[in-house]
Structure 1
Amino acid sequence: MKALLLLIASVFSAAAMADEPLAVEHYSYSQHLDIAHVISTTDIANVCAVVPVRMTYEDAHGQKHILEYRVMGNGCSNS
């Protein structure tokens, strides 16, 4: 009976840990990235400035990550 209770508690504990929000990692140029599958990216702002973008991805081990990096916004024109 104790083993059954322990098993049920561990299942609920694992499920609770899976629902925790992911920590946002900030990209640096020297960082090694292990991106096996991109799940989603945020839209790039329509401004003429450097803006943050977030990419959610899975690594080769199936773990999800959120990476924040900076890109040039879509609002610049060459006129």
Structure 2
Amino acid sequence: MNTKAVYAACLFAALNICTLSARAESDVSAKPYTYGTHLDIQKVVSLKQDASPSCGVVDAQLTYLDSKSKTQVLDYRKISDTCSSDN
């Protein structure tokens, strides 16, 4: 097997893995955070927030794996990252 074929096989495998994880995330419905929500977080997969050019409260989403390695999605509100210098 030549190196181009090996590189192509590796790239194809990596793309399949990324596609599978994206499909798995899309099947999970987001749950809204409420005070007292029990969080069983084993590993954080992604953190997303609405883009905001100014300091303020924005919608955010946490995607994580729980202790059973099941993907969970949590919607919550937070102070925008643009506020970090506005103590």
Please tell me the TM-score bracket, short chain as reference: 0.5 to 0.7
| CA distance in 2: counterparts of 1:75 and 1:36, whole angstroms | 28
Does the 8 Å contact 1:45/1:74 carry over to 2?
no
Q: CA 1:28–1:67 in 2, change beyond 3 Å: closer, same or farther?
A: same
Task: Report the AA paired with residue 29 of structure 2.
Answer: A
Match runs of 1:23-38 below 5 Å: 23-38=29-44
| CA distance in 1: counterparts of 2:38 and 2:56, whole angstroms | 26
Task: Report the AA paired with residue 64 of structure 2.
Answer: Y
Does the 8 Å contact 2:46/2:63 carry over to 1?
yes
Structure 1 length normalisation: TM-score? 0.64
Does 1:39 pair with 2:45? Answer: yes
* Coordinate RMSD, CA, aligned: 2.4
Q: Which runs of 5+ in 2 are unaligned?
A: 1-22
| CA distance in 1: counterparts of 2:32 and 2:49, whole angstroms | 17
Does 1:50 pair with 2:52? Answer: no
Structure whose alpha-carbon radius of gyration is higher: 1
| CA distance in 2: counterparts of 1:51 and 1:43, whole angstroms | 7
Aligned length: 62
Task: Report the AA paired with residue 30 of structure 1.
Answer: G
User: Which one has the bigger helix percentage?
Assistant: 2
Query: 2:3 is matched with which residue?
Result: none
| CA distance in 2: counterparts of 1:40 and 1:74, whole angstroms | 16
